[in-house]
Amino acid sequence: MRKCMIILSLIISSSAYAQKYEELSLTPPMGWNSWNTFQCNVSEKLVMETADIIASSGMKEAGYAYVVIDDCWMLKERDPKTGDLVADPAKFPHGMKALADYVHSKGLKFGLYNCAGTKTCAGYPGTRGFEYQDARYYASLGIDYLKFDWCNTEGINGEEAYTTMSKALRAASRPIVFSLCDWGTNKPWRWASHVGQLWRTTGDIGPYFDRGKTKEGWEPNSVMRNLDLNDTLNQYAGPGHWNDPDMLEVGNGMTESEDRTHFSIWCMMASPLIAGNDLRSMSPATKSILTNKEVIAIDQDSLGVQGFRYSNQDSLQTWFKPLKDGGWALCFLNRSLKVQKISYDWKTQVITDPVSHRQLDPASSVFKIFNLWTKKEQGNTSKELNAELPAHDVLMLRLTK
Protein backbone atom coordinates (compact mmCIF):
# COMPACT_ATOMS: atom_id res chain seq x y z
CA MET A 1 0.00 0.00 0.00
CA ARG A 2 2.79 2.37 0.96
CA LYS A 3 4.57 1.61 -2.36
CA CYS A 4 1.40 2.50 -4.27
CA MET A 5 1.08 5.77 -2.38
CA ILE A 6 4.69 6.69 -3.20
CA ILE A 7 4.14 5.95 -6.90
CA LEU A 8 0.91 8.00 -6.89
CA SER A 9 2.72 10.87 -5.19
CA LEU A 10 5.47 10.79 -7.84
CA ILE A 11 2.88 10.80 -10.63
CA ILE A 12 1.07 13.78 -9.11
CA SER A 13 4.36 15.62 -8.54
CA SER A 14 5.48 14.94 -12.10
CA SER A 15 2.17 16.01 -13.63
CA ALA A 16 2.34 19.30 -11.75
CA TYR A 17 5.33 20.27 -13.88
CA ALA A 18 4.39 18.60 -17.16
CA GLN A 19 1.93 21.20 -18.35
CA LYS A 20 3.66 22.83 -21.34
CA TYR A 21 3.30 21.68 -24.93
CA GLU A 22 6.46 19.61 -25.25
CA GLU A 23 6.35 19.46 -29.05
CA LEU A 24 6.86 23.22 -29.51
CA SER A 25 10.21 24.89 -30.31
CA LEU A 26 12.28 21.75 -30.75
CA THR A 27 14.74 24.16 -32.36
CA PRO A 28 15.15 27.76 -31.15
CA PRO A 29 12.18 29.93 -32.19
CA MET A 30 12.74 32.51 -34.92
CA GLY A 31 10.73 35.64 -35.59
CA TRP A 32 10.42 39.39 -35.05
CA ASN A 33 9.49 41.52 -32.03
CA SER A 34 8.51 45.18 -31.99
CA TRP A 35 10.25 46.39 -28.81
CA ASN A 36 13.89 47.04 -29.75
CA THR A 37 12.99 49.58 -32.42
CA PHE A 38 9.44 50.74 -31.77
CA GLN A 39 8.85 50.42 -28.01
CA CYS A 40 5.28 51.71 -27.52
CA ASN A 41 4.86 52.98 -31.09
CA VAL A 42 3.11 49.84 -32.28
CA SER A 43 0.18 49.70 -34.68
CA GLU A 44 -1.85 47.45 -36.91
CA LYS A 45 -0.21 49.00 -39.96
CA LEU A 46 3.30 48.31 -38.66
CA VAL A 47 2.54 44.68 -37.88
CA MET A 48 0.85 44.02 -41.22
CA GLU A 49 3.70 45.63 -43.15
CA THR A 50 6.24 43.63 -41.15
CA ALA A 51 4.38 40.38 -41.82
CA ASP A 52 4.28 41.25 -45.53
CA ILE A 53 8.05 41.75 -45.61
CA ILE A 54 8.84 38.55 -43.71
CA ALA A 55 6.64 36.64 -46.13
CA SER A 56 8.11 38.21 -49.28
CA SER A 57 11.77 38.98 -48.48
CA GLY A 58 13.13 35.48 -47.94
CA MET A 59 12.94 35.72 -44.15
CA LYS A 60 10.05 33.28 -43.96
CA GLU A 61 12.00 30.78 -46.07
CA ALA A 62 15.01 31.32 -43.80
CA GLY A 63 12.92 30.23 -40.80
CA TYR A 64 11.44 33.40 -39.30
CA ALA A 65 7.93 32.45 -38.22
CA TYR A 66 6.69 34.57 -35.29
CA VAL A 67 5.48 38.17 -35.48
CA VAL A 68 5.29 39.39 -31.88
CA ILE A 69 3.86 42.66 -30.55
CA ASP A 70 5.55 43.71 -27.32
CA ASP A 71 4.25 46.11 -24.63
CA CYS A 72 1.67 48.90 -25.12
CA TRP A 73 -0.78 47.09 -27.40
CA MET A 74 -3.72 47.40 -24.99
CA LEU A 75 -5.77 50.01 -23.18
CA LYS A 76 -4.80 51.12 -19.66
CA GLU A 77 -7.85 49.40 -18.14
CA ARG A 78 -9.51 46.03 -18.62
CA ASP A 79 -13.04 45.70 -19.95
CA PRO A 80 -15.24 46.72 -16.96
CA LYS A 81 -17.84 44.06 -17.77
CA THR A 82 -15.78 41.02 -18.70
CA GLY A 83 -12.39 41.80 -17.15
CA ASP A 84 -10.71 40.97 -20.46
CA LEU A 85 -7.75 42.87 -21.86
CA VAL A 86 -8.72 45.34 -24.58
CA ALA A 87 -6.62 46.13 -27.63
CA ASP A 88 -6.11 49.87 -28.14
CA PRO A 89 -8.61 50.75 -30.89
CA ALA A 90 -6.54 53.73 -32.01
CA LYS A 91 -3.54 51.50 -32.68
CA PHE A 92 -5.44 48.38 -33.74
CA PRO A 93 -8.76 49.52 -35.22
CA HIS A 94 -9.76 46.06 -36.44
CA GLY A 95 -8.82 44.29 -33.22
CA MET A 96 -6.31 41.57 -32.43
CA LYS A 97 -8.28 38.65 -33.82
CA ALA A 98 -8.34 40.23 -37.29
CA LEU A 99 -4.63 41.02 -37.04
CA ALA A 100 -3.82 37.46 -35.96
CA ASP A 101 -5.83 36.18 -38.91
CA TYR A 102 -3.87 38.46 -41.26
CA VAL A 103 -0.50 37.23 -39.95
CA HIS A 104 -1.70 33.64 -40.25
CA SER A 105 -2.80 34.28 -43.84
CA LYS A 106 0.86 34.98 -44.64
CA GLY A 107 1.86 31.55 -43.37
CA LEU A 108 3.31 33.10 -40.19
CA LYS A 109 2.52 32.92 -36.47
CA PHE A 110 1.33 35.68 -34.15
CA GLY A 111 2.49 36.62 -30.67
CA LEU A 112 1.60 39.05 -27.87
CA TYR A 113 3.14 40.36 -24.66
CA ASN A 114 2.09 40.64 -21.05
CA CYS A 115 3.63 40.58 -17.62
CA ALA A 116 3.64 38.40 -14.50
CA GLY A 117 3.07 41.47 -12.33
CA THR A 118 0.10 43.70 -11.66
CA LYS A 119 1.11 46.01 -14.52
CA THR A 120 3.35 45.67 -17.54
CA CYS A 121 6.67 47.50 -17.70
CA ALA A 122 4.96 50.41 -19.50
CA GLY A 123 2.08 50.54 -17.01
CA TYR A 124 -0.62 48.58 -18.84
CA PRO A 125 -2.73 45.83 -17.16
CA GLY A 126 -0.61 42.89 -16.04
CA THR A 127 -1.78 39.33 -15.64
CA ARG A 128 -1.38 38.75 -11.89
CA GLY A 129 -4.67 37.27 -10.72
CA PHE A 130 -6.01 36.95 -14.29
CA GLU A 131 -3.82 34.11 -15.58
CA TYR A 132 -6.55 31.71 -16.66
CA GLN A 133 -8.80 34.44 -18.04
CA ASP A 134 -5.98 35.96 -20.08
CA ALA A 135 -4.89 32.55 -21.38
CA ARG A 136 -8.44 31.90 -22.62
CA TYR A 137 -8.47 35.34 -24.23
CA TYR A 138 -5.17 34.69 -26.04
CA ALA A 139 -6.46 31.34 -27.25
CA SER A 140 -9.63 33.00 -28.56
CA LEU A 141 -7.49 35.40 -30.58
CA GLY A 142 -5.47 32.55 -32.05
CA ILE A 143 -2.06 33.65 -30.79
CA ASP A 144 0.92 31.29 -31.04
CA TYR A 145 3.50 32.94 -28.76
CA LEU A 146 3.38 34.76 -25.43
CA LYS A 147 6.25 36.85 -24.09
CA PHE A 148 5.76 37.19 -20.32
CA ASP A 149 7.73 39.96 -18.58
CA TRP A 150 8.67 40.54 -14.92
CA CYS A 151 7.80 44.15 -13.99
CA ASN A 152 5.70 45.18 -10.96
CA THR A 153 6.18 41.81 -9.27
CA GLU A 154 7.05 42.89 -5.71
CA GLY A 155 6.40 40.01 -3.31
CA ILE A 156 5.68 37.50 -6.10
CA ASN A 157 7.53 34.19 -6.36
CA GLY A 158 8.88 33.80 -9.89
CA GLU A 159 8.65 30.03 -10.20
CA GLU A 160 5.09 30.08 -8.90
CA ALA A 161 3.99 32.93 -11.17
CA TYR A 162 5.42 31.45 -14.36
CA THR A 163 4.22 27.94 -13.52
CA THR A 164 0.70 29.24 -12.96
CA MET A 165 0.69 31.01 -16.33
CA SER A 166 2.08 27.92 -18.03
CA LYS A 167 -0.73 25.81 -16.59
CA ALA A 168 -3.26 28.44 -17.68
CA LEU A 169 -1.97 28.31 -21.25
CA ARG A 170 -2.25 24.53 -21.23
CA ALA A 171 -5.79 24.72 -19.86
CA ALA A 172 -6.74 27.08 -22.71
CA SER A 173 -6.09 24.16 -25.08
CA ARG A 174 -4.11 26.03 -27.72
CA PRO A 175 -0.41 25.32 -28.32
CA ILE A 176 1.30 28.63 -27.45
CA VAL A 177 5.05 29.09 -27.15
CA PHE A 178 5.74 30.48 -23.67
CA SER A 179 8.67 32.91 -23.43
CA LEU A 180 9.70 33.64 -19.84
CA CYS A 181 11.19 37.13 -19.65
CA ASP A 182 12.35 37.56 -16.05
CA TRP A 183 15.82 38.80 -17.12
CA GLY A 184 17.39 35.83 -15.30
CA THR A 185 16.25 37.21 -11.93
CA ASN A 186 14.76 33.92 -10.73
CA LYS A 187 17.33 31.69 -12.45
CA PRO A 188 14.64 30.03 -14.62
CA TRP A 189 17.17 27.72 -16.27
CA ARG A 190 17.11 25.73 -13.03
CA TRP A 191 13.37 25.02 -13.00
CA ALA A 192 11.61 26.14 -16.19
CA SER A 193 12.30 23.33 -18.65
CA HIS A 194 8.76 21.99 -18.04
CA VAL A 195 7.24 25.47 -17.79
CA GLY A 196 8.20 27.27 -21.01
CA GLN A 197 10.05 26.90 -24.28
CA LEU A 198 12.57 29.70 -23.65
CA TRP A 199 13.67 31.91 -20.79
CA ARG A 200 15.69 35.09 -20.60
CA THR A 201 19.08 34.71 -18.99
CA THR A 202 20.04 38.39 -19.12
CA GLY A 203 18.90 41.97 -18.72
CA ASP A 204 17.62 43.89 -21.72
CA ILE A 205 19.98 44.23 -24.66
CA GLY A 206 20.81 47.44 -26.52
CA PRO A 207 22.43 48.14 -29.93
CA TYR A 208 25.94 48.21 -28.47
CA PHE A 209 28.73 45.73 -29.09
CA ASP A 210 30.79 45.80 -25.91
CA ARG A 211 29.60 48.68 -23.74
CA GLY A 212 26.08 49.97 -23.17
CA LYS A 213 25.11 53.63 -23.07
CA THR A 214 22.64 55.30 -20.75
CA LYS A 215 19.27 55.49 -22.47
CA GLU A 216 16.32 57.30 -20.87
CA GLY A 217 17.75 56.87 -17.38
CA TRP A 218 18.95 53.27 -17.66
CA GLU A 219 21.77 51.42 -19.34
CA PRO A 220 20.90 48.40 -21.51
CA ASN A 221 23.37 45.56 -21.76
CA SER A 222 25.76 45.25 -24.67
CA VAL A 223 25.89 42.23 -26.96
CA MET A 224 29.11 41.02 -25.33
CA ARG A 225 27.68 41.48 -21.83
CA ASN A 226 24.72 39.25 -22.66
CA LEU A 227 27.06 36.75 -24.30
CA ASP A 228 29.06 36.52 -21.08
CA LEU A 229 25.92 36.06 -18.96
CA ASN A 230 24.61 33.28 -21.19
CA ASP A 231 27.73 31.34 -22.12
CA THR A 232 28.03 29.21 -18.96
CA LEU A 233 24.43 27.95 -19.05
CA ASN A 234 24.82 25.46 -21.92
CA GLN A 235 23.89 22.49 -19.72
CA TYR A 236 20.32 23.84 -19.41
CA ALA A 237 19.53 24.26 -23.11
CA GLY A 238 18.08 21.67 -25.46
CA PRO A 239 15.16 20.83 -27.75
CA GLY A 240 12.06 22.59 -26.44
CA HIS A 241 13.86 24.59 -23.74
CA TRP A 242 16.31 27.34 -24.68
CA ASN A 243 18.46 29.92 -22.96
CA ASP A 244 17.53 33.35 -24.32
CA PRO A 245 20.16 36.14 -24.19
CA ASP A 246 17.54 38.54 -25.63
CA MET A 247 16.48 39.71 -29.06
CA LEU A 248 18.73 40.60 -31.97
CA GLU A 249 20.04 44.14 -32.48
CA VAL A 250 21.19 43.41 -36.04
CA GLY A 251 20.44 46.45 -38.20
CA ASN A 252 20.03 48.83 -35.28
CA GLY A 253 23.21 50.89 -35.48
CA MET A 254 26.25 48.70 -34.92
CA THR A 255 28.83 48.15 -37.67
CA GLU A 256 28.32 45.41 -40.23
CA SER A 257 31.07 43.30 -38.66
CA GLU A 258 29.53 43.74 -35.20
CA ASP A 259 26.11 42.72 -36.55
CA ARG A 260 27.67 39.68 -38.19
CA THR A 261 29.42 38.77 -34.93
CA HIS A 262 26.24 39.25 -32.90
CA PHE A 263 24.27 36.98 -35.22
CA SER A 264 27.02 34.36 -35.42
CA ILE A 265 27.53 33.95 -31.72
CA TRP A 266 23.77 33.83 -31.04
CA CYS A 267 23.62 30.96 -33.54
CA MET A 268 26.57 29.24 -31.87
CA MET A 269 24.69 29.44 -28.55
CA ALA A 270 21.48 27.96 -30.06
CA SER A 271 19.71 31.17 -29.05
CA PRO A 272 16.23 32.18 -30.19
CA LEU A 273 16.61 34.40 -33.26
CA ILE A 274 14.10 37.22 -32.77
CA ALA A 275 14.87 40.14 -35.07
CA GLY A 276 14.35 43.56 -33.53
CA ASN A 277 14.96 45.98 -36.40
CA ASP A 278 12.64 47.87 -38.74
CA LEU A 279 12.33 45.35 -41.55
CA ARG A 280 10.74 47.96 -43.81
CA SER A 281 14.00 49.89 -44.10
CA MET A 282 16.72 47.30 -43.56
CA SER A 283 19.81 47.52 -45.73
CA PRO A 284 20.92 44.74 -48.08
CA ALA A 285 23.76 43.99 -45.62
CA THR A 286 21.32 43.58 -42.73
CA LYS A 287 19.06 41.35 -44.77
CA SER A 288 22.05 39.27 -45.88
CA ILE A 289 23.08 38.69 -42.26
CA LEU A 290 19.59 37.85 -41.02
CA THR A 291 18.94 35.40 -43.88
CA ASN A 292 22.26 33.57 -44.07
CA LYS A 293 20.85 30.05 -44.20
CA GLU A 294 24.19 28.35 -43.59
CA VAL A 295 24.67 30.24 -40.30
CA ILE A 296 21.01 29.79 -39.33
CA ALA A 297 21.43 26.04 -39.87
CA ILE A 298 23.96 26.03 -37.01
CA ASP A 299 21.40 27.65 -34.71
CA GLN A 300 18.62 25.33 -35.88
CA ASP A 301 20.64 22.11 -35.75
CA SER A 302 18.36 19.38 -34.40
CA LEU A 303 20.93 18.02 -31.94
CA GLY A 304 20.00 21.08 -29.92
CA VAL A 305 23.32 21.65 -28.13
CA GLN A 306 24.30 25.16 -27.05
CA GLY A 307 27.86 25.89 -28.16
CA PHE A 308 30.59 26.50 -25.61
CA ARG A 309 33.60 28.78 -25.26
CA TYR A 310 36.71 26.64 -25.52
CA SER A 311 39.41 29.28 -25.14
CA ASN A 312 39.89 32.99 -24.51
CA GLN A 313 43.33 34.47 -25.15
CA ASP A 314 43.98 38.19 -25.54
CA SER A 315 40.29 38.82 -26.37
CA LEU A 316 40.36 36.17 -29.10
CA GLN A 317 37.77 33.55 -28.22
CA THR A 318 37.23 30.10 -29.75
CA TRP A 319 33.74 28.57 -29.66
CA PHE A 320 32.64 25.05 -30.63
CA LYS A 321 29.21 23.50 -31.24
CA PRO A 322 28.60 19.82 -32.09
CA LEU A 323 26.06 19.10 -34.85
CA LYS A 324 23.59 16.32 -35.53
CA ASP A 325 25.42 14.99 -38.61
CA GLY A 326 28.65 14.42 -36.67
CA GLY A 327 30.15 17.70 -37.82
CA TRP A 328 31.02 20.75 -35.80
CA ALA A 329 30.64 24.51 -35.96
CA LEU A 330 33.65 26.59 -34.97
CA CYS A 331 33.67 30.32 -34.40
CA PHE A 332 36.70 32.52 -33.73
CA LEU A 333 35.53 35.78 -32.12
CA ASN A 334 37.76 38.86 -31.96
CA ARG A 335 36.49 41.05 -29.10
CA SER A 336 39.41 43.45 -29.29
CA LEU A 337 39.90 46.68 -31.24
CA LYS A 338 42.89 45.32 -33.15
CA VAL A 339 43.42 42.71 -35.86
CA GLN A 340 44.14 39.29 -34.36
CA LYS A 341 46.18 36.52 -35.95
CA ILE A 342 44.75 33.01 -35.84
CA SER A 343 47.13 30.04 -35.86
CA TYR A 344 45.25 26.86 -35.10
CA ASP A 345 46.90 23.45 -35.25
CA TRP A 346 44.05 20.97 -35.58
CA LYS A 347 46.14 17.90 -34.77
CA THR A 348 47.09 19.10 -31.29
CA GLN A 349 43.51 19.80 -30.16
CA VAL A 350 40.95 17.24 -29.01
CA ILE A 351 37.66 18.95 -28.23
CA THR A 352 34.96 17.41 -26.02
CA ASP A 353 31.56 19.04 -25.64
CA PRO A 354 30.73 19.01 -21.90
CA VAL A 355 26.97 18.49 -22.49
CA SER A 356 26.63 15.98 -25.33
CA HIS A 357 30.09 14.46 -24.74
CA ARG A 358 30.67 14.52 -28.49
CA GLN A 359 34.37 14.58 -29.34
CA LEU A 360 36.22 16.32 -32.14
CA ASP A 361 39.60 14.75 -32.85
CA PRO A 362 41.06 16.08 -36.13
CA ALA A 363 44.19 14.00 -35.57
CA SER A 364 42.23 10.79 -36.18
CA SER A 365 39.72 12.07 -38.78
CA VAL A 366 40.15 14.74 -41.44
CA PHE A 367 37.33 17.29 -41.70
CA LYS A 368 36.46 19.52 -44.62
CA ILE A 369 36.24 23.22 -43.72
CA PHE A 370 33.47 25.49 -45.02
CA ASN A 371 33.44 29.23 -44.33
CA LEU A 372 29.85 30.11 -43.40
CA TRP A 373 30.11 33.80 -44.31
CA THR A 374 32.12 33.69 -47.54
CA LYS A 375 30.28 30.44 -48.38
CA LYS A 376 33.45 28.90 -49.74
CA GLU A 377 35.40 25.73 -49.04
CA GLN A 378 38.52 26.50 -47.02
CA GLY A 379 40.61 23.34 -47.21
CA ASN A 380 40.60 20.71 -44.50
CA THR A 381 42.02 19.97 -41.07
CA SER A 382 45.12 18.23 -42.33
CA LYS A 383 46.87 21.62 -42.39
CA GLU A 384 47.17 24.32 -39.75
CA LEU A 385 44.63 27.12 -40.03
CA ASN A 386 46.15 30.58 -40.40
CA ALA A 387 44.12 33.76 -40.78
CA GLU A 388 43.83 37.39 -39.75
CA LEU A 389 40.62 38.44 -38.03
CA PRO A 390 39.54 42.10 -38.01
CA ALA A 391 38.35 43.84 -34.84
CA HIS A 392 34.87 42.91 -33.60
CA ASP A 393 34.52 40.25 -36.26
CA VAL A 394 34.24 36.48 -36.54
CA LEU A 395 35.57 33.60 -38.57
CA MET A 396 32.78 31.03 -38.57
CA LEU A 397 33.39 27.57 -39.98
CA ARG A 398 31.54 24.30 -40.43
CA LEU A 399 33.60 21.10 -40.15
CA THR A 400 32.32 18.05 -42.02
CA LYS A 401 33.86 14.58 -42.19
One digit per residue, the tens of pLDDT, for the chain of length 401 reads 444 443 334 333 334 444 899 999 999 999 999 999 999 999 999 999 999 999 999 999 999 999 999 999 999 999 999 999 999 999 999 999 999 999 999 999 999 999 999 999 999 999 999 999 999 999 999 999 999 999 999 999 999 999 999 999 999 999 999 999 999 999 999 999 999 999 999 999 999 999 877 777 779 999 999 999 999 999 999 999 999 999 999 999 999 999 999 999 999 999 999 999 999 999 999 999 999 999 999 999 999 999 999 999 999 999 999 999 999 999 999 999 999 999 999 999 999 999 999 999 999 999 999 999 999 999 999 999 999 999 999 999 999 99
Q: Which residues are catalytic?
A: 149, 204
CA geometry: angle 27, 187, 201, nearest 5 deg = 50
Candidates 28, 109, 24; CA nearest to 67 is 109
Q: Where in the chain do CATH 3.20.20.70 domains reside?
A: 23-299
- Cβ neighbors of 287 (< 8 A, separation 6 or more) are 57, 58, 59
pLDDT, position 167: 97
Q: Which residues sit opposite 125 in a β-bridge?
A: 119
Report which DSSP code applies to 305: P
**328 in Cβ contact with 399 (< 8 Å):** yes
Q: Where in the chain do CATH 2.60.40.1180 domains reside?
A: 308-400
pLDDT, position 16: 45
Place domain 308-400 in its CATH homologous superfamily.
Golgi alpha-mannosidase II (2.60.40.1180)
**81 in Cβ contact with 133 (< 8 Å):** no
What is the pTM for the complete model shown? 0.94
| Domain covering 23-299 in this structure, CATH number | 3.20.20.70
Q: List alpha helices for 34-123, DSSP H.
A: 35-38, 44-56, 59-62, 95-105
Report which DSSP code applies to 77: S
**If DSSP codes are grouped into helix, strand and coil, which group holds residue 17?**
coil
pLDDT, position 146: 98
**133 in Cβ contact with 167 (< 8 Å):** no
pLDDT, position 218: 78
